Each structure stands twice: as C-alpha cells, then as structure tokens.
C-alpha cells in the first residue's frame, strides 16, 4: 500500500479530518451536470416565497424556461444570505456568473469530518461558578453527523421549556426518538438527493462523531462514564445546562457538502442559536474566504452575533495546513492532556515494553507464540504484503494461536489475525502515536525503534513468545500539541496568525452512538455508550463550550469580543514542546474561568472584516458575496489600517525573502473590567526583533471606554521557515491581557 493510501485510511478510520478531492457528479446518467452554489445581490424581499421566486427568475433567464428553472433549482437559502443551489452544466454556470445581480458561482464540493477529564485539566472543574439561569438560555448548534437523542448526555430532567428566542424545530424522523427540553432542535440537509446506503435520512447519528462533539460541548453530567473501565469519571460538557440543536450535514458515504453546510448555517442562524460548532474541514488550498462554504456561513453568522468555532484540521505536523482560517472564525488546534493509554507487552525473554492504544482484553495465557507477518505469509503471497498483515496475504493455519507483529498498513489488522484464529497483533508505526487507537482484539502500537528490537528478538530466539496486557492509564507531561493538529503559517493570509487557540483533542471520552461498533471496522461487534476519540474535531467543541460559558456571563458580547476574551486569557504554551510555537497553538491553551473576566477586549464588527478583505486584495465584487447589499468601496476603507487591517488579539509579521521588515499594528481595546483602570505594557521581544508599543500605558475612567495604541515590530532577516515568538501583555492590578506576536520566515 502506498504511503498516501496508508495515511488516508489511517485518518479515516480514526475519525480524523481529511478531504477528498472527488467532486461527485450530480445524478446517474446526467453526468454533465454538477451542483453549484450561486450568490446574488441582496434584495429587499422578506418572505421565503418571493425569495424563491427571484431564484426561479434568475434561472429562467438562464435556461429560457421556467419549467427548466424549477427542475434545476435544488435549494433556496432563506434569509441570511441571498443564494441558491442548482444543478447546472458547466457552461451554464459560467454564463450565470456574468449575469446581472450574480455575485459569485462556485461548484459544490464534498468535505470530510475532521471527556471527562479534559475539563478538569484545563481548569473548568465541576464546581466552577455558573450563571445557571443564563446558561439555560444558551443554545448551541452543531453542524455534524447528527445526534443520539436517547443518550443520557441529552436527557432533559430538570430543564424548563426552550428559551423564548428559539425559532427552530424538530420533527418526526426515521429512527429518531425525538427532541426534548435539552435537545431542542434537530434537522438534516442532504440536498444532492443521492441515496446514502450507510446512513439514514434523519438527524440520527449513525457515525458517532456528532454525538461525541455535542456531548463534549453541552452534555449533561453523566457519572460513571468510561470505556470498559478506562477513562472513568463523570462525562460532561462545558455548559451542561445549555440547549442543543443538531444540524446534520455530514453523511456516512458522501461526507459533508458545501450546499448542506450552507443550509445548516442558514438554519442555525435562522433558529437563533448562540454558538455554532463545526468540526469539518475544507482543505485550505481549495478556496478563499469568499468561496469556502464554512467561511461564508460563519461570516453571515457573525453578522447576526453568532460565534463560529471550527477545527483547525488534522493535517499536521506539516506546515501551512491550517483550515478554517478566516479571521471571523475561531480556529482550534488540538492539545494533549496528561493521560495516555498504554499496554505492557512482556516477552519470553522477560523483557517488557510499553505500547500505545486501548486494549480492553485481559490475556488468558501467560505467553503466546510470537511471529512476524512475513513469517506467516501464504506461499503465494509476497512477504512484503504479509508484513502488513493484509487479509489476503496471510496463511490462516500459520496464524492460529499466535501473536503477530505487523507493520501498519491499515487499522484493524488485529481483527484479521483474530478472524484467522490468532491471538492479536503488535502494530509497528512511526506516526500518530500520540492518540490511542481502539483495538478489537488484543493489540498495541509501538514505534519502529521498538519494533526493530522485537524483530531482532524473533530472529534470534528459537521459540519467541509474548503477551499483551490490558491497557492502563499513565500520566504523561502535558500539555503539548498533537502531531496531527494542523499548523500555520496561515495559507489564507500571511497577515493573520492561525490557529487561534488550543484545547484538548487527544483521547477524549464522550457519548457515542449505539448504531456503530467502537471502531466501525468490519468484524467489530463491540459497542459502548461512551468512547474515546481524537482530532481537532474534539478540541473544537471544547472551545465552543467555553464560548457558550463566556456568553452565559456576557450575553451581549459580540462574537469577536468573546473570541478576544478567550484568546487573551489563554495559558501560554511553550515552544519547547513544539518547534512550530504559536503556529501550532495560537494564543495557547484555553482557560475557561479566566476567559469570563478578560479586563480588555479587542472588538471588531462586520466592516472591520471587510476592510481586512480589501487590504488582502479581494476585489469588491467578490467581497459582495459576504457584504450582501452593503456597497463596498475599498479605496475609501484602506488608508491608515496598519499592517494587517485588523483589530486582532494576535499579531503576525511575515518576512518575505530575507529582507528586514517593519510591521505596524494599530489596535483598539475596550475596557470590560473595573471602570477605573490603568494598564501598563510588558513586551517580550525575541532576539533580533525590536518591538515598540505606543503609548506604554492605557488609562480608563469608565467601562466600555476605548483606547488605541500601536505596536511597531522591526525584524531583521531570519532564515527560511524560522518562527520567532514574542508577546505583548497589558497588565493592570487585576488583569493580564496577553497577545502573541509572531515573526515568520519566508
């Protein structure tokens, strides 16, 4: 198996985010047509019917017949943006894009999806102060694989009726037991109309991903949760009193399409959720801020005061892989907590090693014969294939009763070995060993340094033997950034630091679906109400939960203010554990209780973001997809905006080829702490970088008062791919407001 394919299967099977490059064809036999999303200039229409009619009119003009128009229209997005989805030939799409009133036309693509101790670890204990009444008015919306309504995490004991502002709904759906006062909304979107044989046309979660993320964000307290005794504790979300609305936009076989993602945003905004959590990734090289469905949806959410929290992606540790990288999205990297699942492996020689992964099986014997995959190859098979323990390459007779050492080719080989009457597998891999794979038969994963010594032991021993013990939790140094977590620099803009923040995303215990086995692999029949998952998919709902928590204290704060509060109070992380520094973790590890009281905030409104897009060189015509009817004149917006044209709580200066550079960052902070406050600046400048702040002291005499300042960063030439980390801290007697300052090499 090629390396590409191996990584592909590895990520898919561990529920990690990847993106497929296929663009599915619209319908059978209609191979020339594809789905497109069309944005139109905003119009002053306020009923859904007339919006629909304007879309029909546009298509009628294109097609020359209203009947053809009706047939090709797939969906009219309702009120938050003027757009529709349609099934068109490519030449029709091209023609449409030059028509009057049409802002943009882009092809629909399909994306893939990218407890509970983690809350205690980041400092949100069960006893943390809460505004319970406010919290129960918070509605969190998740765009995901749906939800499991019967899960205890979403039971409604003690909940009152939904908040008055709630405009959503929950109907009767196939295999869906219904909503309640905790799970107040459930909808699904599958606009391509193609059947998905592995899924059910209903908000029910057959995958487990949506149930897991939703319970991490807002699940009830469920005592005694564990995965067969591992990770035992009380499972809970950040805001257990908040309400949950599920928008299913991801499907088992086809993934998550742009059309459905946009429809999910449209509905969530319409339904008046407070926070949107989306653990789905659009590969960054695919688009820009005006054609990426998540960026577009999140922009419209932001206009309505709704914060969108999204996963950074699982394409690390490669650089420049961070997804969901628009400035109005809150982009979350995955960190590790201080717990790892390890299994001891004891050999006939008496030697013991420690493998990684979740093995829930106790051995029945003291030792088992140990062989290499290539030792048990079918006579006809190439030993190279047998090294990977692929089903078709091994001889069942030779496997029976044995433990097999396999090179990683694909997860699930322990099940193949067991199917042949074998005992289990030791799996050799050099990547992704920071998160635990769940095994269906006795197995553990080791790195190739260790597997080399095992091979040598097998080679030099007459009857090699070993045994794998049940996994145990061990304490490890933390936090650190997961190897899989996507890294900056931001491929969307070299003026903007991404990811924004880090939160736990390795081996997170949360609720699961009864409709899928633990691994979802062929041959697995083990089910559990809770399971461990890893990915930025898991870190995202942690931060979405903290955003909901902050909002329960400050219901009127803008999405940007909430994000600023969470970033400036994050616990700094150290570049000693990650070479990529802030490009791996942004402002640092989220700190929920500090985020409630940030002292100062860096706020922005819609126009600030539009100004940023102008500064990035987006033409006014494409900005219109986001701005709607607002007429934009970039040349009037640009003067005096500084190096990044943002009021961001982080600063990034990117050096081009080996020259020196100066960045000037204009910032405005708003006082949300005590009315009378003085903040003094503390600057930490990396070697060779000069950072000046003017003024060095900010005096406030009332709350909501604004003060502006400038940060000038002068950097000498640095080597390619180097990153240097500094910071600016505004310190008062009560608050510490910290912003990372990053200088990146070319």
- How far is it, in rounded angstroms, from Cα 28 to Cα 31? 7
> For residue 317, is the peptide bond before it cis, meaning its omega torsion is within 30 degrees of 0?
yes
144 is annotated as an active-site residue: yes
Q: Is residue 633 close enough to count as binding ligand NAG by CB under 6 A?
A: yes
In sequence order, what are the beta bridge partners of 728?
Answer: 683, 739
As separate numbers, helices (DSSP H) first and strands (DSSP E) second, the chain gives 20, 37
- Nearest approach, Cβ of residue 387 and ligand NAG (Å): 10
Rg of the chain, C-alpha, whole Å: 27
Sequence-distant (≥ 6) Cβ neighbours of residue 23 within 8 angstroms: 34, 107, 108, 109, 110
Cβ neighbours around 128 below 10 Å, total: 14
3-state DSSP assignment of residue 511: strand
Task: Indicate the burial class of 521 (C-beta count within 10 angstroms; 0-12, 13-18, 19 or more).
Answer: middle
- How far is it, in rounded angstroms, from Cα 513 to Cα 209? 8
- Nearest approach, Cβ of residue 737 and ligand NAG (Å): 12
Q: Is residue 267 close enough to count as binding ligand NAG by CB under 6 A?
A: yes
Site for ligand NAG in 588-627 (CB under 6 A): none
- Nearest approach, Cβ of residue 688 and ligand NAG (Å): 27
Q: Catalytic residue, from 209, 212, 300, 735: name it.
A: 209
Question: Smallest Cα–Cα separation from 563: which of 652, 475, 500, 471?
Answer: 500
Size of the site for ligand NAG (CB under 6 A): 26
- Nearest approach, Cβ of residue 261 and ligand NAG (Å): 13
- Nearest approach, Cβ of residue 638 and ligand NAG (Å): 9
Nearer to ligand NAG, 78 or 344 (CB): 78
528 is annotated as an active-site residue: no
Q: Catalytic residue, from 15, 76, 136, 144: name it.
A: 144
Site for ligand NAG in 504-523 (CB under 6 A): 515
> For residue 129, is the peptide bond before it cis, meaning its omega torsion is within 30 degrees of 0?
no
Q: Is residue 456 close enough to count as binding ligand NAG by CB under 6 A?
A: yes
Longest dimension (CA), the chain: 84
- Nearest approach, Cβ of residue 169 and ligand NAG (Å): 8
Q: Is residue 678 close enough to count as binding ligand NAG by CB under 6 A?
A: yes
Nearer to ligand NAG, 266 or 414 (CB): 266
- How far is it, in rounded angstroms, from Cα 286 to Cα 293? 11
Q: Is residue 195 close enough to count as binding ligand NAG by CB under 6 A?
A: no
Contact 220, 236 (CB under 8 A): yes
Contact 668, 708 (CB under 8 A): yes
537 is annotated as an active-site residue: yes
Site for ligand NAG in 681-740 (CB under 6 A): 697, 731-733
Q: What x/- string results for residues 161 through 180 when contact with ligand NAG is judged by CB under 6 A?
A: ------x------xx-----
Strands 329-336 and 501-504, bridge-based pairing: parallel
Chosen residue from 54, 270, 472, 558 binding ligand NAG by CB under 6 A: 270
- Nearest approach, Cβ of residue 463 and ligand NAG (Å): 16
Q: Is residue 525 close enough to count as binding ligand NAG by CB under 6 A?
A: no
Nearer to ligand NAG, 296 or 538 (CB): 296
Chosen residue from 135, 199, 258, 266 binding ligand NAG by CB under 6 A: 266
- How far is it, in rounded angstroms, from Cα 604 to Cα 608? 6
Contact range with ligand NAG by CB under 6 A, out of 59-67, 87-95, 265-273, 282-290: 265-273
Output the 3-class SS for 359-395: CCCCCCCCCEEEEEHHHHECCCCCHHHHHCCCHHHEC
Q: Is residue 151 close enough to count as binding ligand NAG by CB under 6 A?
A: no
Question: Smallest Cα–Cα separation from 599: which of 561, 635, 630?
Answer: 561
Chosen residue from 452, 605, 659, 690 binding ligand NAG by CB under 6 A: 452
Active site residues: 144, 209, 537
Binding interface with ligand NAG (CB under 6 A): 48, 78-79, 167, 174-175, 266-267, 270, 447, 449-450, 452, 455-456, 459, 515, 633, 635-636, 678, 680, 697, 731-733
């Amino acid at each position: 198996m090629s390396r590409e394919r191996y990584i592909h299967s590895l990520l898919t099977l561990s529920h990690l985010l990847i993106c497929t490059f296929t663009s599915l064809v619209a319908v059978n036999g209609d191979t020339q047509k594809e789905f497109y999303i069309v944005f139109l200039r905003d119009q002053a229409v306020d009923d859904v019917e007339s919006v629909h009619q304007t879309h029909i009119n546009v298509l009628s003009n294109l097609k020359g017949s209203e009947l053809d128009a009706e047939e090709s229209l797939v969906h009219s997005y309702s009120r938050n943006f003027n757009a529709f989805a349609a099934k068109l030939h490519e030449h029709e799409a091209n023609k449409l894009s030059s028509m009057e009133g049409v802002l943009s036309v882009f092809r629909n693509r399909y994306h893939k999806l990218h407890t509970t101790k983690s809350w205690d670890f980041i400092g949100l204990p069960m006893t943390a102060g809460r505004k319970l009444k406010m919290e129960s008015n918070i509605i969190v919306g998740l765009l995901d694989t749906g939800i499991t309504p019967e899960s205890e995490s979403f039971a409604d004991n003690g909940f009152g009726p939904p908040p008055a502002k709630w405009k959503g709904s929950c109907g009767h759906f196939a295999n869906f037991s219904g909503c309640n006062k905790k799970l107040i909304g459930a909808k699904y979107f599958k606009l391509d109309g193609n059947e998905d044989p592995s899924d059910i046309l209903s908000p029910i979660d057959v995958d487990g991903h949506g149930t897991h993320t939703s319970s991490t964000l807002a699940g009830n307290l469920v005592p005694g949760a564990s995965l067969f005794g591992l990770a035992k504790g009380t499972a809970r979300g950040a805001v257990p009193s908040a309400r949950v609305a599920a928008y299913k936009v991801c499907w088992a076989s086809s993934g998550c399409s742009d059309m459905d993602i946009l429809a999910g945003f449209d509905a969530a905004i319409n339904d008046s959720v407070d926070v949107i959590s989306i653990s789905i990734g659009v590969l960054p090289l695919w688009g820009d801020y005006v054609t990426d469905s998540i960026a577009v949806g999140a922009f419209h959410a932001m206009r309505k005061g709704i914060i969108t929290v999204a996963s950074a992606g699982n394409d690390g540790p490669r650089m420049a892989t961070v997804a969901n990288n628009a400035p109005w999205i809150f982009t979350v990297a995955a960190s590790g907590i201080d717990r790892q699942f390890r299994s001891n492996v004891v050999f006939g020689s008496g030697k013991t090693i420690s493998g990684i992964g979740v093995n829930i099986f106790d051995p029945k014997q003291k030792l088992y014969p140990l062989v290499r995959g290539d030792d048990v190859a079918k006579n006809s098979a190439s030993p190279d294939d047998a090294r990977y323990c692929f089903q078709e390459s091994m001889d069942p007779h030779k496997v029976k009763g044995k433990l097999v050492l396999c090179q990683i080719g694909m997860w699930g080989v322990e099940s193949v070995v067991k199917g042949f009457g074998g005992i289990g597998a030791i799996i050799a891999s050099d990547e992704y060993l920071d998160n635990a794979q769940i095994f269906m038969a006795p197995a553990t994963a080791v790195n190739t340094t260790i597997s080399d010594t095992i091979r040598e032991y097998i080679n030099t021993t007459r009857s090699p033997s070993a045994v794998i013990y049940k996994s145990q939790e061990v304490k490890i140094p933390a936090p650190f950034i997961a190897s899989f977590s996507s890294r900056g620099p931001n491929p969307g803009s070299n003026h903007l630091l991404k990811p924004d923040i880090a939160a736990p995303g390795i081996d997170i215990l949360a609720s699961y679906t009864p409709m899928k086995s633990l691994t979802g692999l062929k041959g697995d029949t083990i089910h559990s109400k809770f399971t461990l998952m890893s990915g930025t998919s898991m870190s995202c709902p942690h931060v979405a939960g903290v955003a909901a928590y902050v909002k329960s204290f400050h219901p009127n704060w803008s999405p940007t203010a909430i994000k600023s509060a969470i970033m400036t109070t994050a616990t700094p992380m150290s570049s000693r554990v990650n070479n990529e520094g802030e490009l791996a973790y942004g402002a640092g590890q989220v700190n929920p209780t500090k985020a409630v009281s940030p002292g100062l905030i860096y706020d922005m409104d819609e126009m600030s973001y539009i100004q940023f897009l102008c500064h990035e060189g987006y033409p006014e015509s494409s900005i219109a997809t986001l701005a709607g009817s607002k007429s934009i004149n970039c040349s009037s917006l640009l003067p005096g905006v500084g190096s990044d044209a943002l009021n961001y709580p982080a600063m990034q200066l990117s050096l081009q080829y080996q020259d020196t550079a100066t960045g000037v960052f204009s910032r405005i902070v708003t006082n949300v702490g005590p009315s009378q406050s003085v903040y003094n600046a503390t600057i930490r400048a990396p070697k060779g970088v000069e950072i000046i702040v003017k003024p060095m002291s900010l005096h406030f005499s009332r709350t909501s008062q604004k003060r502006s300042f400038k940060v000038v960063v002068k950097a000498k030439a640095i080597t390619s791919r180097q990153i240097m980390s500094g910071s600016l801290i505004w310190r008062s007697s009560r608050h510490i407001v910290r912003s990372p300052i990053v200088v990146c090499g070319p």
